[in-house]
Amino acid sequence: MTAPADIIEKVKYLREKITDADYRYYVLADPDIDDYSYDMMLKELDDIEKKYPAMISDDSPTQRVSGMPTRIFRTVKHKVPMLSLSNSYNFNELIEFDNRINNILSESNEKNYEYICEFKFDGLAVSLVYENGKLKTAATRGDGSEGDDVTQNIKTIRSIPLSVRHKDLKNFEIRGEVFFRKEDFIKVNEEQELKGEKIFANARNTAAGTLKLKDSRIVASRQLNFFSYYFYTDEIKIESHLHSIDLLQELKFPVNKFFKKAADIKEVKAFCDETERMRDSLPYEIDGVVVKVNSFSQQEILGTVSRSPRWAIAYKFKAKETETKIESIVCQVGRTGTITPVANLKPVLLSGSTISRATLHNFDEIKRKDIREGDFVKIEKGGDVIPKVLEVIIKKRGRNSKPYLIPSKCPVCGSSLKKPEDEVYYYCPNYYCDAQIKGRIEHFVQRNAMNIEGLGESIIDIFLNKGFLKNYSDIYALVKKKAELLRLDRFGEKSVDNIIAAIEESRNRPFDKVLFALGIRHVGERTAKILADNFGSIENIVSADEERILQVNEIGPKIAESISLFMKDKKNLELIEKLKKAGLKFESGENTIKENINITNKTFVLTGTLEKYKREEAQKIIEDFGGKVSSSVSKKTDFVLAGEEAGSKQQKAVDLGVKIISESDFEKMIKG
């Protein structure tokens, strides 16, 4: 049924009034209508849309909570990577950061720069993409390159506009932090207690978990909040971070009012000190201050290193401390056999979390601090996340206290522990120790590896006990055991179907993720990506000796030895063969490292302004050819690529006798 013109106008009017009321209530905290009037407008709009279903659109206020629960979260690739920040924990590290900024910008004759200081919220980073003025997708940060699509759940946050109207801006991306206000987090736990369900210990983790719930109605009931801090678009030129904040406010996105433009590092320190003093009085949790170079052109000059921007840093506040008692010390066995002592503590509240366990790192640490069972200790949350024992309160130690004895046997399988001479850790050498098997499976299914949702720790325990899993290759046999899985307690058809669907989807994971999932000691995500890019297939890695592996940039002796040992083990090769038969990808779509005799295995330093390339583009070309880009000139540098207004790096290259090349020289090298 086509709606008459007056109804169309009425819908337009109601949507604008409701959207404006949401902005005034949730962003400005200055409502201009009462709750009853707001509810009546929303009801009237809902009634009209039910009568004329063709008028319902994704950006209507009635669509903030609607539809069936989500079965699975699809993956969204970020157009611009969501980088993580480097951390600093004292002001000297901030001064070092400022010195680096000054040195790099001085080389480009950019001597004047300023900072923007903002709160570092203890929440979850998300990206919001708008197309034609409407919210198209919302995604979590994930691994920085891609995250989970949480659009439906983001719509429940009423401070986030579903649509915007601006004459110049239609397509753009917003980034910000999803978090709980302190009072809302308390309400969530009060409701959990009333229902007799688990009390949440940490506001940040609860916010992250809430955003991944499959039922948006539950998400809406928990009243998540949002602050924006990033704006990106191709439609207009944005000069600075301060300019982007102005645009966010103009488009009616919530922006935290506590930010400051700082002319120098002294003003940065003053803001950090003031913020730390007011921290406890804020209505939400923060764990530091984010410091950014304001100018976007200067940010581009500074570039990035690894997964962090050079132009920004997080100043983390000193961790809060408290006192509690060590009730016992137990040993955990990791997936590679590493033995980690852990203190079971008398539960205590610290920085919004209930702490009942703290890592003791290794036995040398226990000996150095003379930590014993029954001791009263001071603990802190390192970086406000990881509980850590600071010191023993000796005056409270009991008379019968005895030093902790290092165990000689694995607590799980009873094997005699080993300790390499050059390491501080003890190891269980039994590759088939139950704890290691479980740890390897948990590592294999994790998000950054095979990303098999539904195979959590408790489910893995059940499957191990039932004999369904003996190693991670058995996961792919589960798809043929649906009938057996359905006979297990608390396993309904829907949950089993979801697990099977996640297993099937994992077969599409790229080679570098599969390589990381294998759990090779010392091989993290980045190393797995480097190996995949350099070798292109598992066969090439298996056939490579230690010397060949060591030739790869960023691969050191320990990593090379670990990879070589893993690939020589017949049982590991059998597992790889089983995974191949299961359809996992053991080669890259293409070998992204292209051999170039002029660039491969050479180290470059970039300085000055290039005419044809941005620094990031030149760096990518070098890395694509198997070269390495360093930030400083040394005797190991092969070439310094110097552009206009090259600075001190060029002079250092002259002093050290390092070859200096121009942009035209570089292009000739590229052509080989």
Q: Which residues are annotated as catalytic? A: 120
Distance CA 462, CA 478 (A): 13
Backbone phi, psi, residue 357, to 5°:
-145, 150
Backbone phi, psi, residue 254, to 5°:
-70, 125
Q: Provide the residue count of the chain.
A: 672
Q: Which amino acid is it at 272?
A: C
DSSP 373: T
How many CA atoms are closer than 13 Å to the CA of 587, on its beta-carbon side? 6
- Do residues 36 and 70 make contact, with C-beta atoms less than 8 angstroms apart? no
Residues 6+ apart with CB under 8 A from 572: 518, 566
Instruction: Please count the other Cβ atoms lying within 10 Å of the Cβ belonging to residue 13.
Output: 12
* Cα four-point dihedral sign 7, 10, 12, 14: negative
At how many degrees (to 10) do helices 5-22 and 35-51 cross? Answer: 140
Query: CA gyration radius for the chain?
Result: 28
Two structure tokens written together for 276: 């730390």
Two structure tokens written together for 295: 């100018």
Q: DSSP string covering 429-453, please?
A: --TT-HHHHHHHHHHHHSTTTT--T
Q: Partners of 240 in the beta sheet?
A: 295
Q: DSSP string covering 287-356, please?
A: EEEEEEESBHHHHHHH-EETTEETTEEEEEPPPPEEEEEEEEEEEEE-TT-BEEEEEEEEEEEETTEEEE
Residues 6+ apart with CB under 8 A from 199: 189, 192, 193
Distance CA 379, CA 229 (A): 33
- Do residues 336 and 524 make contact, with C-beta atoms less than 8 angstroms apart? no
Distance CA 147, CA 233 (A): 20
- Rounded to the nearest 5 percent, the helix, strand and coil shares of the chain are 40, 20, 40
Q: What are the residue ranges of helices labelled H in 151-240?
A: 151-154, 182-194, 203-211, 216-221
Distance CA 390, CA 382 (A): 10
Distance CA 16, CA 45 (A): 11
Two structure tokens written together for 331: 């040993």
- Strands, E assignment, 360-459: 376-382, 386-392
What burial class does residue 597 get, using C-beta atoms within 10 Å of its C-beta: 0-12 exposed, 13-18 middle, 19+ buried? exposed
Instruction: Please count the other Cβ atoms lying within 10 Å of the Cβ belonging to residue 307.
Output: 16
